[in-house]
Amino acid sequence: MSRDWPNTWPNDDWRCPILHIDMDAFYASVAVRERPDLQGRAVIVGGGHRGVVLSASYAARVHGVRSAMPVMRARRLCPHAVLVAPDFALFSAVSAAVMETFRSVTPLVEAMSLDEAFLDVSGAGRRLGSPARIGARLRAQIATEQQISCSVGVAATTDLAKLASRRAKPDGLLVVPRDRATAFLHPLDVGELWGVGEVTAEQLHRLGLRTVGDLAHTPLALLRRALGAATADHLHTLSWGGGRSTVSPRRSSDEPDRSMGADETFSRDTDDPDVIHRELLRLSAKLAGRLRTGALVGRTITLRVRFADFTTITRSHTLRDSTDVAVEIYATATRLFDALGLQRARLRLVGVRVEGLRTAAGSSRQLELGAREHGWAEAERAVDKAVARFGSNAISPAALIGVPRP
């Protein structure tokens, strides 16, 4: 942490009510909490045959281990690291408790993932003090209640708060006062901005733009030509400290997710049509089950295929009526797959996604003249009930019984 941006409150600013709170190395920290013998050691959460690093303790990061890195590479970088399989049920439980703590301060909590959230604390000032004081209090409370640390960014916009929390890591708090927003932003590398990934950063670098300040002083028209209108406008706004200054508690059933999907990387690349079709069936069943659980239906089915060389293609088809029926999703996905006419190409991954989601209650099927009875929907609902009662091993598609997962 630099002298310019101390982890203290002199920079406090009551006009900066947005907090971004981010757990430090969340999965790894929770894993260590469960196994005190791992305290202080290099810990990598991840695994699976072809898995990536989901989270790494700071002792592992010292060796260059990063999230999303192939586990095999991480092990080469840090051979003495302890590899821990993720326990999402546990992570979810800890996350829920943390979010509850946030909500004890303000109802305006927007969870971005299991391990981070935006808070608008403008309504809590009279009761709890300045935004920075509230951030400090929450940090202490999380540490006491959950034995994990987090970092807090305090600013006037969500984007600035996010950058601030990143700067504060690990286990810190940083305020970016309103009148110092550009002074904070402009020296940063453009790649630090939320929404600038590897590709966009490279494009900007080619234009000779390395810092956020460079970006800010570039004519918008030039940026638009290089990046497209939406990205250019967004980044230009951010570069001057603009952006969203509101926090919206996660939308619920009144605004369902826009899509839902399931995909799976084979443990070994395969060119076996039977294996691929069986996997499409399994994914379709899984997806349909999740749709029904969420009381959602969707109309556009998208098939995703990743080849051994990692190139990925998609094919989609929009149905006349929305569906939550595995048989229908599977039939569509299979048709799309077969239409590719692959001559035993080696595949790494297949996936199925349903888009254009709506709540099931608000949708109605058009009656089909001369159509066979739509018995599948009822059959699958019966399966749902059996699974709820006897567990997911009770029933599965006939084609999957006795077949080990690919």
Partner DNA sequence: TCTGGGGTCCTAGGACCC
Q: Which of residues 334-353 bind DNA (CB under 7 A)?
A: 348-349, 351, 353
In the complex, the smallest distance separating the C-beta of residue 256 from DNA, rounded to whole angstroms, is 8
Nearer to DNA, 104 or 312 (CB): 312
In the list 36, 126, 199, 371, the residue contacting DNA (rule: CB under 7 A) is 199
Kindly tell me the number of DSSP H helices and DSSP E strands found in the chain: 15, 13
Instruction: Please check whether residue 75 is in contact with residue 81, taking contact to mean a CB–CB distance below 8 angstroms.
Output: yes
In the complex, the smallest distance separating the C-beta of residue 13 from DNA, rounded to whole angstroms, is 23
Q: Does 358 bind DNA (CB under 7 A)?
A: no
DSSP string, 362-389: G--PPPPTTPPP-HHHHHHHHHHHHHHH
Q: Which of residues 294-333 bind DNA (CB under 7 A)?
A: 299-300, 309-310, 312-318
Rounded Cα distance between 202 and 218, Å, is 16
- What x-and-dash track marks residues 14-53 binding DNA by CB under 7 A? ----------------------------------xxxxx-
Q: Which of residues 227-246 bind DNA (CB under 7 A)?
A: 228-231
Buried b (16+ CB within 10 A) or exposed e, 13-40: beebbbbbbbbbbbbbbbbbeeeeebee
β-sheet bridge partners, residue 101:
none
Q: Would you please indicate which residues are annotated as catalytic (active-site) residues?
A: 116
In the list 87, 214, 263, 384, the residue contacting DNA (rule: CB under 7 A) is 263
In the list 133, 290, 358, 374, the residue contacting DNA (rule: CB under 7 A) is 290
**Which segments of 231-378 are extended strands (E)?**
259-270, 296-307, 312-323, 347-355, 358-359
Q: Does 72 bind DNA (CB under 7 A)?
A: yes
In the complex, the smallest distance separating the C-beta of residue 140 from DNA, rounded to whole angstroms, is 23
Quote the tokens at residue 376. 């599948």
β-sheet bridge partners, residue 317:
301
In the complex, the smallest distance separating the C-beta of residue 371 from DNA, rounded to whole angstroms, is 20
Nearer to DNA, 40 or 197 (CB): 197
In the complex, the smallest distance separating the C-beta of residue 164 from DNA, rounded to whole angstroms, is 13
Virtual CA dihedral for 219, 223, 229, 233, nearest 10 degrees? -60
In the list 28, 176, 209, 262, the residue contacting DNA (rule: CB under 7 A) is 262
β-sheet bridge partners, residue 20:
118, 153
Quote the tokens at residue 130. 């300045």
Residue 385: CB atoms within 10 A of its CB come to 10
In the list 38, 201, 331, 345, the residue contacting DNA (rule: CB under 7 A) is 201
Helix axes 273-293, 375-390, angle to 10 degrees: 80
Instruction: Please check whether residue 115 is in contact with residue 23, taking contact to mean a CB–CB distance below 8 angstroms.
Output: yes
**With CB under 7 A as the contact rule, which of the stretches 126-134, 252-260, 369-377, 385-393 interacts with DNA?**
252-260
In the list 9, 194, 240, 376, the residue contacting DNA (rule: CB under 7 A) is 194
- What x-and-dash track marks residues 102-141 binding DNA by CB under 7 A? ----------xxxxx-------------------------
Rounded Cα distance between 406 and 404, Å, is 6
DSSP string, 187-216: TSBGGGSTT--HHHHHHHHHTT--BHHHHH
- What x-and-dash track marks residues 165-184 binding DNA by CB under 7 A? --------------------
Q: Which residues bind DNA (CB under 7 A)?
A: 48-52, 54, 67-68, 70, 72-73, 112-116, 162, 193-201, 228-231, 257-265, 290, 299-300, 309-310, 312-318, 348-349, 351, 353, 356
